[in-house]
Structure 1
Amino acid sequence: MASPSPSLMLPATIAWKEDALYLLDQTRLPHESVVERVATVEDVWRWIHELRVRGAPAIGVAGAYGLCVAMQPVRQASREAFYAALEKHAAYLDTARPTAVNLSWGLKRMVQAVQRSQADRAEALYQVLVEEAKLIHQEDQAICEGIAVHGLPLITAGAGVLTHCNAGALATTGLGTATAPLYLAHRNGVAFHVFADETRPLLQGARLTAYELQQAGLDVTLITDGMAASMMAQGLVDVVIVGTDRVAANGDFANKIGTLSVAIAARYFNLPFYVACPSSTLDLQTARGEDIFIEERLDGEVTQLGGQGIAPPDIKVRNPAFDVTPHDLVTGFITERGIVRAPFEQNLAALFATGGES
């Protein structure tokens, strides 16, 4: 076995420094790495909605810090006025991305932290929010490490691993979810190969996953979405690992559009299909995939590429950002507490029975 690799060079997506929120603008990658201070609640909403910060765990953390930003102008108000503003801003931020459950989960947790507090002064309540956001941030990093440890045995020497979209360091504040086992295996000196789907229409696989894996020194090949089944047919893929934006109680899950096609192909070629799922993405209150609201985005994301039109004018367009993969196509969910296998409804509930409300 090769010697362990040096420290991974992974991008930092979110930082809270001196009472200010700083975010990496992912829409400018891979050509530019630009970090900006985001100073108003409206700007936080826009950054999340425009995918400048994206990935279910990352927007959960960004939303938590964003609520701190939102409450800074009312730090001297009464408790009643502070709480009224808190509920208003939390509801507003929650509309930025409706499918990924982490955003609403994080915002609810922030509001509940204030509800539990005995503090009377708004300044003290504001500090409760900041400390809760920092805790959510730290927990996200620890969750990524847990997923890495439990998913590590799936990455064997010489294996070909296929992933779709970006469930990497850029989608979290740590090692990522689907990429976490890859990074740990690479750190341990395991030699393997990654195929990254480009992920139309916004090319998160090409712009983000391929970029961060290459920067970290992993052996990665970029392919178009339509090539995935062909790679499987050639025997180049041994395991598929993807992320998720929401997992229903029965194990159906929503992820970036195109995931369902990958899962169907994996089943046809008898390949294991795993979903990296942090506890913050598990929604036991949603019974099944058909109950998950799917975000529809602007036509221009499909009809343009790099700012250039690629379709006839006025063509009809569908642009769902996610699709839902049924649980019977899933081999297992890689969580920070272990790999969950079927029957998912019983086993997910049992493992996370003491987890927070989602």
Structure 2
Amino acid sequence: MDGYRPFIFNDDDEFFIIDQRFLPNIKEVKLNNLEDVYKAIKDMAVRGAPLIGIVAAFGYYLAVKNAKDFDELNQTSNVAYASLIATRPTAINLKWALESQKEVIKENAFLPVEKIIKKVRANAFSIYESQKRADYQMAQNAIALFDKPMRILTHCNTGSFATGGIGTALGIIKYSANKNLVKEIYVDETRPYFQGSRITAFELSDEKIDYKIVTDSACGILMQKNLVDCVIVGADRIARNGDVANKIGTYCLACLAKAHNVKFFVAAPESTIDRSFNDLSSIEIEIRDDSEILHFNGISLAPEGAKALYFAFDVTPHHLIDAIITEKTVYKPEFNL
């Protein structure tokens, strides 16, 4: 059920990722330094909020590993933090992982530099292992929400290629399918990067779990025809009141689910909860280059000179959400996280 590993960081500090832009075709890429990690995250070769944080933690280590003294360690640490935090502004897991690495340096400032660097490396692996454990616990916690085999609609990709473990929302689906608690799985394409039809479908195929791909615009009629019992999605940031920022299109699904009395569940690790925000009304929403809408894999999808507006995320208000599933518990309305 673990599926493909989206990256390898070996004993020689060689860092390899699967470039997710090419899935379902497998293309392995080596990341040699901070600049490579920055580009991999920024260009979405690596994506998924938890995995972005994990990869950034290893990138942070690559940036500081050759520091000769504490001053150089601090300098390279600051450069790594500033560079990586700027890659994807909406997802909180990135900041959480980088803050964790900074704290390792701060807490161990009394040690020789080479020992601090070893602890930074170990912490990157700890963040990774913690996420894998959290994924399994989320899946186990979610079972309480399934009182019958469910017909599930999911959005984007929230599996192994988003977390490094079994996944959040997709991890729940995989786990529940193995418990015979899934009757049907609908995978929406998730424009403009097609993370659903390319990556989620790839993971389910690899697990030999049946599914159907649907267009994003077909989700309304699925609910209208009573073909969906619940929607399960991931999250990139969650506020204290339960507002959720996630892949663009999530808000539309939540509105449709509410209109058709379909349960709407969010799955994410506790590290996705940003308690510095009471709500997400003022959150920065990443706007990506319009070429990502106007072209796909080098093919033009619109007339020459066309313009586009690409919000990468949207915010789903808490009143549209029936439960938020983490490794700690299942939060129910009224949310007070």
Range into which the TM-score falls when normalised by the shorter chain: over 0.9
TM-score normalized with structure 1 length? 0.91
Counterpart position of 1:23: 17
| 2:6 aligned residue (5, 13, 36) | 13
Contact 2:105 2:120 in 1 (8 A): yes
- Partner Cα separation in structure 2 for residue 16 and residue 310 of structure 1: 37
- Partner Cα separation in structure 1 for residue 21 and residue 27 of structure 2: 10
Q: Deviations over 1:29-76 (max 9, x none)?
A: 00x2123321110000000011111100001100001101111232xx
- Partner Cα separation in structure 2 for residue 263 and residue 190 of structure 1: 22
| 1:159 counterpart = 2:143 | no
- Partner Cα separation in structure 1 for residue 330 and residue 34 of structure 2: 37
Q: What runs of 5+ residues in structure 2 fail to find an aligned partner? A: none
Shift, 1:120, TM fit: 3.6
Shift, 1:15, TM fit: 2.2
Q: Deviations over 1:237-274 (max 9, x none)?
A: 00110001001121111111111110000000011100
- Partner Cα separation in structure 2 for residue 40 and residue 306 of structure 1: 26
Contact 1:56 1:171 in 2 (8 A): yes
Shift, 1:154, TM fit: 3.2
Q: Secondary structure at the match of 1:131?
A: helix
- Partner Cα separation in structure 2 for residue 261 and residue 152 of structure 1: 25
- Partner Cα separation in structure 2 for residue 61 and residue 91 of structure 1: 16
- After TM superposition, the structure 1 stretch with the greater mean CA deviation from structure 2, 292-301 or 307-316, is 307-316
Shift, 1:185, TM fit: 1.6
Paired residues for 1:191-202 under 5 Å: 191-202=182-193
Contact 2:173 2:182 in 1 (8 A): no
The sequence identity of aligned pairs, in percent, is: 34
- Partner Cα separation in structure 2 for residue 139 and residue 158 of structure 1: 29
RMSD of aligned residue pairs (Cα, Å): 1.4
Contact 2:150 2:181 in 1 (8 A): no
Counterpart position of 1:331: 322
| 1:72 counterpart = 2:60 | no
Q: Secondary structure at the match of 2:169?
A: coil
| 1:203 aligned residue (165, 173, 194) | 194
| 1:103 counterpart = 2:97 | no
Counterpart position of 2:78: 87
Q: What runs of 5+ residues in structure 1 fail to find an aligned partner? A: 1-7, 349-358
Structure 1's 117 and 227: CA in aligned 2 closer, same or farther, altered over 3 A?
Answer: same
Contact 1:299 1:318 in 2 (8 A): yes
* Alignment: residue pair count: 336
| 1:47 aligned residue (40, 59, 65) | 40
Q: Deviations over 1:109-156 (max 9, x none)?
A: 100011001444221111010111111011000110111001123345
- Partner Cα separation in structure 1 for residue 187 and residue 333 of structure 2: 27
TM-score normalized with structure 2 length? 0.96
| 1:216 counterpart = 2:207 | yes
Contact 1:79 1:122 in 2 (8 A): yes
- Partner Cα separation in structure 1 for residue 32 and residue 285 of structure 2: 29
- Partner Cα separation in structure 1 for residue 262 and residue 183 of structure 2: 16
Contact 2:231 2:264 in 1 (8 A): yes
- Partner Cα separation in structure 1 for residue 180 and residue 221 of structure 2: 28
Q: Secondary structure at the match of 2:311?
A: coil
